[in-house]
Amino acid sequence: MLSYFRWVLFFVALLVTVMGGALYLGHAILVAEGPLDKTKNVVIPRGAGPTTMSKLLQEEGVISHPRLFRLALMIDPSPKPIKAGEYEVPAHTSMQSLVELLQSGKVVQRRLTVPEGMTTAEVLDLVRKTEALSGEITLDLKEGDLLPETYFYSRDDTRDGLLMRMKEAMEKTLDEAWRKRAAGLPLANKRDALILASMIEKETAVPAERTKVAAVFINRLRRRMKLESDPTTIYGLTDGKVAFNRELTRADLTSNTPYNTYVISGLPRGPICNPGRASIVAATNPLARDRSLFFVADGQGGHAFALTLYEHQRNVERWRQIQRERAESQEQAQPQTPAPAPATPAPAPRRQ
């Protein structure tokens, strides 16, 4: 009988030893460096269970022991759900660290930058081509609805969802700027401010000029002068959907569209692009006490401003002279190709 108990104790001790060794070995493998040789993005699909996940991670080269990974998920003393999404897995990540990463939900944050001055058609095309977003665009968005900014998103976020964030950001920005607007502006409502901001955005790319350009348009509105803005005329011709790669002609400037501010009085019918935050602020807070009524390109990337028509005409002539000099320089820089010699002598002119 005593011998029997000794054998039982022996086998129990052996079993404990084996189990202890297995647990030790298993833990050592769990905390050991993984096989991944460089950082890699891995996508965990929605609804994936331990078996699917372990197989996927093995195929991606992240783990070498899929069964142990499944076991680690099952015996986790404080189990948390694995969140679907795209994860950036560092090189040589251990299985234990991998489980913690997948439970954290810290998915990869992608970014999309929408430049100031894009038309809504251009923004929609940009979003449509952005990788990792899902779904078609079904929203009915108008010109000026979207705020140009850098937006962060995760894989499989919807295109409609991202565009709604842009729309809400524009509404919030416009509301705030309108609340803080200067007193006495000749703008009836927030939409007028948005239209003016879109014109400012298209007229200058120089940050320091925005409030000055805004002052010119505000001054002309107060005097009931036509705004005479080239970008509005171009928008009337293109509807913001195609590029305009030529100089405006006299016929363009007399075109009958609700955006041609050489023809119509006051603001155009609607925005001509999606203005940025700075242009919206400039439209609602133009440069105080500036009485300028005209501006034209100065040849240095900015504009020359004028109070009187006489000053403006001189600035225009300077700009035209710069254009002529540039055109002459381009012609001189082009290699002269000699005319090929005629194959046969040209006949002598006939006398009449």
Write the DSSP assignment of 204-231 as a string of letters: ---GGGHHHHHHHHHHHHHTT-----HH
Ordered by start, the domain boundaries in the chain are: 31-107, 110-171, 183-328
212-250, pLDDT tens digit by residue?
A: 999 999 999 999 999 999 999 999 999 998 889 898 999
d(CA 193, CA 168) in angstroms, rounded, equals: 17
- pLDDT of amino acid 172: 98
- pLDDT of amino acid 5: 44
Its pTM stands at: 0.80
279-293, pLDDT tens digit by residue?
A: 999 999 999 899 999
Residues 6+ apart with CB under 8 A from 135: 158, 159, 160
d(CA 199, CA 144) in angstroms, rounded, equals: 11
d(CA 105, CA 153) in angstroms, rounded, equals: 14
- Considering the segment(s) 31-107 as one domain, its CATH architecture is 2-Layer Sandwich (3.30)
- pLDDT of amino acid 351: 33
List Cα–Cα distances, 281 to 181, 200, 202, 231, 275, in angstroms.
Answer: 8, 11, 15, 20, 10
Copy the structure tokens of residue 53.
């996940």
- pLDDT of amino acid 290: 94
- pLDDT of amino acid 77: 58
- pLDDT of amino acid 13: 39
- pLDDT of amino acid 19: 42
Given a contact cutoff of 8 angstroms between Cβ atoms, the answer to whether 233 and 253 are in contact is yes
d(CA 29, CA 69) in angstroms, rounded, equals: 10
d(CA 118, CA 124) in angstroms, rounded, equals: 10
List per-residue pLDDT tens for the chain, 352 residues long. 545 444 444 444 344 443 444 444 445 567 777 788 888 888 988 888 888 888 888 888 988 888 888 877 776 656 678 888 899 899 988 888 888 888 888 899 999 999 999 999 999 999 999 989 999 999 999 999 999 999 999 999 999 999 999 999 999 999 999 999 999 999 999 999 999 999 999 999 999 999 999 999 999 999 999 999 999 999 999 999 888 989 899 999 999 999 999 999 999 999 999 999 999 999 999 998 999 999 999 988 899 999 999 999 999 999 999 988 888 888 777 765 554 444 433 333 333 3
- pLDDT of amino acid 332: 79
- pLDDT of amino acid 352: 30
Task: Tally the C-alpha atoms within 13 A of residue 65's C-alpha that lie toward its C-beta.
Answer: 19
- pLDDT of amino acid 29: 65
Angle between helix 66-74 and 95-104 (nearest 10): 50
